[in-house]
Amino acid sequence: MPARIRSIETRVPDTVLSQDVVRDIFRTQPGVSRLAQRIIGAAFDGSAIETRHTVIAELGQAGVNATTGTPNPADADAPTFYSATDGLILNPGTGVRNDVYSREAPGLLVGAARAALDASGFEASDVTHVVTVSCTGFFAPGPDFVLVKALGLGTDTQRYHLGFMGCYGAFPALRSAAQFCAADPEAVVLVVCLELCTLHIRSSDDPDSIVASSVFADGAAAAIVTAREDGGSGPVLDLDSFSTAITTDGETDMAWTISDHGFEMVLSSYVPQIIEKSITEALAPVLGTIPGALEDPTGAVPHWAIHPGGRSILDRVQSTLALSDGQLAPSREVLRTAGNMSSGTVLFILRRILHGEDDAVGGIGAGEGIGADVDPDGGRVCAMAFGPGLTVESAAMTRRTTPRTAPRP
């Protein structure tokens, strides 16, 4: 049996950022030039994002709490990232930002993982491997260790952490999980992506920094991958094939570096053009495994999970591949309601496809609003993300609703 994604669950922080409010905060910072103000307006207004989530409660003073729906109160303590009193975006050092990562990451990490395990029909004792992914912070013992302790996994659970790969990090993690299952048919692999991108926001006139501040967000996503046939019932995603490509251009157009004041994103305006020029060739290996997909991607592949690096990227992928609005709807909906959460974003999209969610029912990350199984067995899926390099990762999957057998005693 092929390795399959048996469950995907997601979590986001409680603090919600309204895109127009955050735009105005950035635009009114001291020292921001008139040109930068125009760039900020264009970047935020053209992002196709309405809300994002952050672990920085101070930034929530410009927004609302996702759980209570009420405005967040001002923080009585000395501010670190944003002073509501002065309306100033502050500039803490990298150590301070990483301390917040170390403090806030475990809750989202464990919440998503526990929900995915519960939804899969497996027990903690079944998990043989843990693969964690993150590029927005560091601590050791790391996220993989946290999961073993918090979930009560066996101390002999094999653990792997993929760090600093960027927005395509979920694909090497899923590919590794599939390889573990091929080597050991009894394997049950927990994959978790956790990114706290907003820890690295800053006020700047630099266009790359402005664009990054307008799209990146926080979130966690977890998946259970196995070739075992027992477990709970529900739809699955067969992991059929994977592919990696490096574009001929773009090595300097997307990068992720560590500075004294956080991690700095290089995200040039040429990235959408590079992806547009390269997407057909980059996807050819996985589309070639699906009958008729090279000739007619839209007809042969009903479901598409395209990492929403930005609205322009989705527009160009849709135009180049002639995808319908419906096929891009899951990617656009995740972008609209949650922004770009780096490595975990594609799992947010795949969760919608897995459960047949055609509309925004329930809250992203809430674990609710599961739609009916509307897709027949054999519904093909193409997933894609990109990152520094410029690297393009893709996968072919098949959505199935075949009932599973009962759990083993």
**pLDDT per residue over 162-181, tens digit each?**
999 999 999 999 999 999 99
Single pTM value for the model: 0.91
**pLDDT per residue over 227-248, tens digit each?**
999 877 789 999 999 999 999 9
Q: Given this model, what pLDDT does residue 359 score? A: 38
- pLDDT tops 70 at residue 387: yes
- pLDDT tops 90 at residue 293: yes
**pLDDT per residue over 51-83, tens digit each?**
999 999 998 765 445 455 555 554 446 899 999
Q: What is the DSSP string of 48-103?
A: ---EEEES-GGGGGGSEETTT-SBPPPPSSPPSSEETTTTEE----HHHHHHHHHH
- pLDDT tops 90 at residue 182: yes
Whole-number percent of the chain with pLDDT over 90: 80
- pLDDT tops 50 at residue 101: yes
- The rounded distance, in Å, linking the Cα atoms of 305 and 14 is 25
**pLDDT per residue over 315-348, tens digit each?**
999 999 999 999 999 999 999 999 999 999 999 9
Is there a contact between 226 and 3 (Cβ–Cβ < 8 Å)? yes
Q: Given this model, what pLDDT does residue 316 score? A: 97
**Tokens describing residue 279:** 């997407």
Where do the DSSP E strands lie in 199-289? Answer: 218-226, 236-246, 254-259, 262-267
Residue type, 80: T
Is there a contact between 202 and 261 (Cβ–Cβ < 8 Å)? yes
The CA-based angle 234-290-301, given to 5 degrees, is 65
Beta-carbon contacts of residue 207 (< 8 Å; ≥ 6 apart)? 39, 43, 269
Catalytic annotation on 167? yes
Q: Given this model, what pLDDT does residue 68 score? A: 56
More confident residue, 362 or 300: 300
- The residue annotated as part of the active site, out of 167, 181, 197, 382, is 167
**pLDDT per residue over 121-158, tens digit each?**
999 999 999 999 999 999 999 999 999 999 999 999 99
The CA-based angle 9-404-127, given to 5 degrees, is 50
- pLDDT tops 50 at residue 311: yes
**pLDDT per residue over 195-216, tens digit each?**
999 999 999 999 989 999 999 9
- pLDDT tops 70 at residue 365: no
Domain limits of the chain?
A: 234-359+366-402
Query: What does pLDDT average to over the chain?
Result: 90
**May I ask the CATH class of domain 234-359+366-402?**
alpha beta
Q: Given this model, what pLDDT does residue 328 score? A: 96
